[in-house]
Amino acid sequence: MSLLLFPINNGLASQLAIVIDDFGYRQQNEQKIISLSPNITIAVLPYSPHAKQMSTLANKQGNEVIIHLPMAPLSKQPLEKETLFPYMGEEEVNQIIANAVERVPYAIGVNNHMGSLMTSDLKGMEHVMKALSHYSFFYLDSKTIGKTQVINAAQNYNIPVLVRDVFLDDKQNENAIAYQFDIAIELARKKGQAIVIGHPYPQTVNVLTKKLSELPSDIQLVKLSQLIHPESLPEKPTLTFKDIYKIFEKIGYEIYYLSIIQQ
């Protein structure tokens, strides 16, 4: 398994990370995206017909690979095989994620494919995070819904969480995609970094080809893992006095019980 590296930002440029989802179906467009830059991260659908091939090619070219993990949406639409649902138990979630890891070699992280139903369910996402904790992965929240529970679910599993800032191509129109790219540039300047997600559409390939060839000097295209800093780790909730009292109360009951059964 690939090891995560965390290069230090030189502080001279704002950082832009580009993630292209839905890899594994459009080989020709996907090869063009990989050829644009080794700093573009690709997100591979585990049960797409060319998942292993594209993952292997991307890794060979120096691109980071993450698993584009299918998760249930709120709306009714065609689903990928082994889509995760909130009603699934821990064992089933573990198996689905293990299968995905096997089908997407060289993966170092995960983001959600669709998932507005799944990512808004705390218990379901806790199962996901527990399963992912066995692989030293990070998680990119595609943020397909405002009330996402990803950060809350990751709190107890020490999984770094990144969050998408801009979708490039909700509208498959080159002018609209270029406009979204410019928004991402301005956001990166304002925040110091920005994460954009796109798809291997011909229009997206065309816009990225042009925009990356004329990237402003104050913007640095980086690998997604370079945006993982200590603050990417979700903070665990602070214990209150009431929580501490309950812990000691429980310990007291256990000591009392042991003293009785030992008499």
Give the distance, in angstroms, between the CA of residue 132 and the centroid of all CA atoms in the same chain. 11
Phi and psi at 88, nearest 5°, equal -70, 145
Report pLDDT for 256: 43
pLDDT for the residue numbered 118: 98
Rounded to the nearest 10 degrees, how much is the dihedral formed by the CA atoms of 224, 225, 231, 235?
100
Give the pair of three-digit tokens for residue 20.
Answer: 């292209």
Q: Give the pLDDT band (50/70/90) at residue 232.
A: low
More confident position, 243 or 147 = 147
| The token pair that represents 134 in the structure block | 């066995």
- Percent of the chain scoring above 90 in pLDDT: 81
Q: What is the pTM of this model?
A: 0.84
Band (pLDDT 50/70/90 cuts) for residue 163 is: very high
pLDDT at 11: 55
Look up residue 75 and give its DSSP letter: S
Mean pLDDT across 166-173:
97
**Closest to 228 (Cα-Cα) out of 172, 158, 166:** 158
Q: What is the pLDDT of residues 35-78, one digit of tens each?
A: 999 999 999 999 999 999 999 999 999 999 999 999 999 999 99
Q: What pLDDT, on the 0 to 100 scale, is given for residue 249? A: 59
Q: Is 43 helix (H, G, I), strand (E, B) or coil?
A: strand
Q: Are 227 and 15 in contact (CB under 8 A)?
A: yes
How many angstroms separate the CA atoms of 167 and 187, rounded? Answer: 13
More confident residue, 5 or 87: 87
Other Cβ atoms less than 10 A from the Cβ of 236: the count is 9
